[in-house]
A and B are shown apart, each in its own frame.
Chain A
Amino acid sequence: MDEVFKALADASRRSLLDRLHAKNGQTLNELCDGLAMTRQAVTKHLGILEAANLVTTLRHGREKLHYLNPVPIHQIGERWIKKFERGKLVALSELKRQLEKRDE
């Protein structure tokens, strides 16, 4: 679990996860596109994310695709969120989302 927190404690790596969350199954080229990071840096960050099991890579034809793996994040949730709290948390997040949407 230490590896997961270390991997998440970096804004660049979180932005790579955000990109995969927006569009899953991207190649390295797609992930680098429009980023202010060198290809080398992206490769390094992806390696750390993969070692923490937050990213899974897969060969599809000739391409190597990157997928967001939310299983470790789910496990963190299971560890600290009690069963009866879950419904209330979902309701709170939804309330926040609705209220903030109105301000846009």
Chain B
Amino acid sequence: MSKQANLDPRNFKPAIVYTIYIAAPPEKVWEALTTAEFSRQYFSGHAVEVDQRIGGAFIMRTPDGALHISGEVIECEPPRKLTVTFNVNWPALVERLGPTLVTYTIEPAGDVVKLTMLQSHDRDISDDILSGGCAGWPAILSSLKSLLETGQTLAIKMQPPERMLAALKEMGIGTP
């Protein structure tokens, strides 16, 4: 049986879709999405590690080195498309919410690139739970754009939204 038997991206419906145009080559955007050196600067100090092959590990560590996201590479077409399972490492989260897929697509658009980020789920997820991604991704993507275009990141202090933490707690999901 294939490792991704239950993880056909076609069974996942995007819940959050964000698009940003970045004045940088596709290869540079890909590098920024897949290396810790960059991610630490725009992803609230988190370090990404990707084994760039189907079935390879995708992980993200908090600034203190703790495992925050653990996942697997589902689609990998450098420098155009990366799909990974993006499971937050909070107790019982995957059991209750199912897996989360994150897809990045990088398309040339004239002299710039169009970066689209999808957060997809295989079931309906409440707005309260989605509020975390809705709050976080625009800041992360804006900071990534700023870093690649100007070398400066945006100092955005991010906290998980209260409504998301309350909804997770209600579902019996542990939060830090």
Contact = CB atoms under 8 A, between A and B. Distances in A.
Interface string B13-33: 111111111000000000000
B116 A56 contact: yes
Contact of A74 (B13, B116, B138): B138
B3 interface: no
Most buried by A among B14, B134, B157: B14
A71 B17 CA distance: 10
Nearest to A72: B20
Nearest to B146: A78
Closest 5 CB pairs of A and B: A67-B17, A74-B138, A56-B19, A71-B20, A56-B17
Q: Which of A58, A61, A65 has most B Cβ within 10 Å?
A: A58
A78 B42 CA distance: 14
A60 interface: yes
Interface string B108-140: 000000001010000000000000001000110
A74 B21 CA distance: 13
- A interface majority secondary structure: mixed
Given A74-B138, A74-B142, A78-B142, A65 B14 contact: yes
Contact of A71 (B13, B19, B155): B19
Interface size class of chain B, counting residues whose CB lies under 8 Å from the partner chain: 20 to 34
Nearest to B116: A56
9 contacts: A24-B15, A56-B18, A58-B17, A58-B118, A65-B14, A70-B134, A71-B141, A74-B138, A74-B142
A74 B136 CA distance: 11
B10 A70 contact: no
Interface of B: 10, 13-21, 116, 118, 134, 138-139, 141-142, 154-157
Given A58-B118, A83-B155, A25 B15 contact: yes
A66 to B, nearest CB: 9
B138 A70 contact: yes
Contact of A58 (B14, B138, B154, B156): B14
Contact of B13 (A60, A70, A75, A78): A60
| B18, B134, B139, B141: most-surrounded residue (chain A CB, <10 A) | B18
Contacts of B156: 78, 83
B40 to A, nearest CB: 19
A61 B13 CA distance: 10
A25 B138 contact: no
Contacts of A75: 142
B17 A69 contact: yes
Q: Name which of B17, B141, B155 has the most chain A CB atoms within 10 A of its CB.
A: B17
Contacts of B17: 24-25, 56, 58, 67, 69
